[in-house]
Structure 1
Amino acid sequence: MIVAARLNPGETLGDRIMKVDHAGEHGAVCIYRMQRWFARWRAPDLLPELDEFIAHERGHRALFAAELQRRERRRCRSYLLCGLGGTLLGISTGLAGRGAMAATTVAIERVVLRHMRTQIDALRGTDPGAVELLQRIICEEQEHHDLSAARLVPGGFWSRLIDPVVAISTEAVIWLGMRL
C-alpha cells in the first residue's frame, strides 16, 4: 500500500511519487559521494564500486528531474533534507569503514526497492510514464543492494547496528516527503 499522500491542487499521486523519489536519489548521491571521500583511506578497493553507484544515482536523479520538468512540477520540499541527511549518513558510515558502508546500502536499497515496487503497483494503469521510469531504475538499485549484501557478514555488527536505524530513517523520510 502506498503511504497516504497529501496532494497539492492539480497534483497526481504519480507527480508526488516522482518528487519524493527525486529527493531520495539526491540523498543517495550525497551518501555515496561522502562514503567515497572516506573510502580513499578506509576502503580504497571500494572506490570503483562507489563511483559506479554515484553514476547510477546521478542518472536516476536526472531522470526524475526530467520527468518533473515534463510534468511542470517543482522538486519535493524534502529535497534539501534528503541531501543533508545523506551527507551526514555518508560521513558517519564512511568514517566507520567498509562494513558500515555496505550495511547502509543494503538497508536503504531494501526499503527503496519495496517502495518502488509498491509505487509501480499503485500507478499501473493510471500513470504509464511513472511506471516505465521506476522499472528502468529498479535493476540498478537491486544491483547496489546485492553487491553490498555480498560484502556483509550475516548477522554481523554493522548490519545489526545500522540496518534498523537506516531503514526506519529511510521510511520516515519517504513518509515525510509524501506529506510535504
Structure 2
Amino acid sequence: MQPVANFPAGNEDGDRIIKVDHAGEHGAVNLYSGQIFMARFTAPGLVDELKQFRAHEQRHRAIFAAELARRGRARCRSYRLCGIGGRVLGLITGLLGAGAISATTVAVERVVLRHLENQLSALQGKDPFAVAAISAIVAEERQHHDCSASHIQGGTFWSWFLSPVVSGSTEVVIWLGMRL
C-alpha cells in the first residue's frame, strides 16, 4: 500500500503505535463479543451496555484501520493474537458474571488510557495524524472505564483478583505488539 498523495506518511513511532492500537481495538471488539455472548446468561443487565462498548471499539478499530491504509502500512503482527486473547478473556470473564465483566473492563481501560495519554504526549508535534486518530477515541475509552467502575462496589473479589492479572496481561500484549 502507498500513502495517499499530499499527506505525509507519518513517522516510524506513529506507524508502530497506530498498528498496535489497531490490534488492541480488535482485541477489545472480541473481548466485548465474548462477554456479550456469556452475559446473556450470567449478567443480562449488562448486555446493552456491552453492545454499546463493542460498537465504540468497532468504530475505534475502523479509525486506526483507515489511518494504517492512509499510511500504506499493514496491520500489526499481533492482530490475530489480540483477537483470540480478547475473545478468550471475554468468554471467561463473561462466564464469571457482572462483577468480573466490570472489573475486567476497568483493568483493561486503566492500562489503555495510560498508554493513550503517553502516546499523545510522545507524538505531539511529530505526527498530527496519529494524534488525531488517538484523540478521537479517548473520551469513549474513559466512558467505558468510568461506567464499569460505577458497577463495582468497594473491594470486590473480582476487582482484587482480576485487576493485576488483566492489567499485567494487557501490558504484556502492548509490549509485544510494539516489538513484533
TM-score, normalised to structure 2, is 0.93
Match of residue 5 from structure 2: none
**Contact map agreement 2:94 2:101 (CA 8 A) in 1:** yes
Within 5 A, what are the aligned runs for 1:6-17? 12-17=12-17
User: What secondary structure sits across from 2:179 in the alignment?
Assistant: coil
Residue 148 of structure 2 aligns with which residue? 148
- Taking only aligned residues, the RMSD between alpha carbons, in angstroms, comes to 1.0
Structure 1 residue 115 displacement after superposition: 0.2
Worse-matched range after superposition: 139-148 or 36-45? 36-45
Instruction: Give 1:164's aligned residue.
Output: 164
Q: Which residue of 1 aligns with 2:100?
A: 100
Partners of 1:128 and 1:65 in 2: CA distance: 16
Aligned counterparts of 2:82 and 2:11: Cα–Cα separation in 1: 21
Which residue in 2 is equivalent to 1:3? none
| Deviations 1:152-180, CA, capped at 9 Å, x for gaps | 12211000010000000000000000000
Distance 1:11 1:125, change over 3 A: closer
1:131 Cα deviation from its structure 2 partner: 0.6
Gaps of 5+ in 1: 1-9
Aligned to 2:60: 60
Structure 1 residue 120 corresponds to structure 2 residue 120? yes
Deviation at 1:57, TM superposition (A): 0.2
Task: Find the counterpart in structure 2 of residue 129 from structure 1.
Answer: 129
Give the SS at the match of 2:21.
helix
CA contact (8 A) 2:11 2:126 kept: no
Match of 1:72 in 2: 72
* Residue pairs, 1:26-65, within 5 angstroms: 26-65=26-65
Cα deviation 1:11-65 (Å, max 9, x = unaligned): 6100000000000000000000010011111111111101100100000001100
Distance 2:11 2:133 in 1: 18
Percent of aligned positions with the same letter in both sequences?
61
Gaps of 5+ in 2: 1-9
1:138 counterpart residue number: 138
Corresponding residue for residue 18 of structure 1: 18
Cα drift, residue 102 of structure 1: 0.2
> What is the one-letter code of the residue matched to 2:75?
R
| Maintained 8 Å contact 2:108/2:167 | yes
Aligned length: 171
Moved over 6 A (4+): none
The DSSP-based 3-state class of the residue aligned with 1:151 is coil
Alpha-carbon offset, residue 88 of structure 1: 0.7
Note the C-alpha offset of 1:136: 1.1
Question: SS at 1:178's partner residue?
Answer: helix
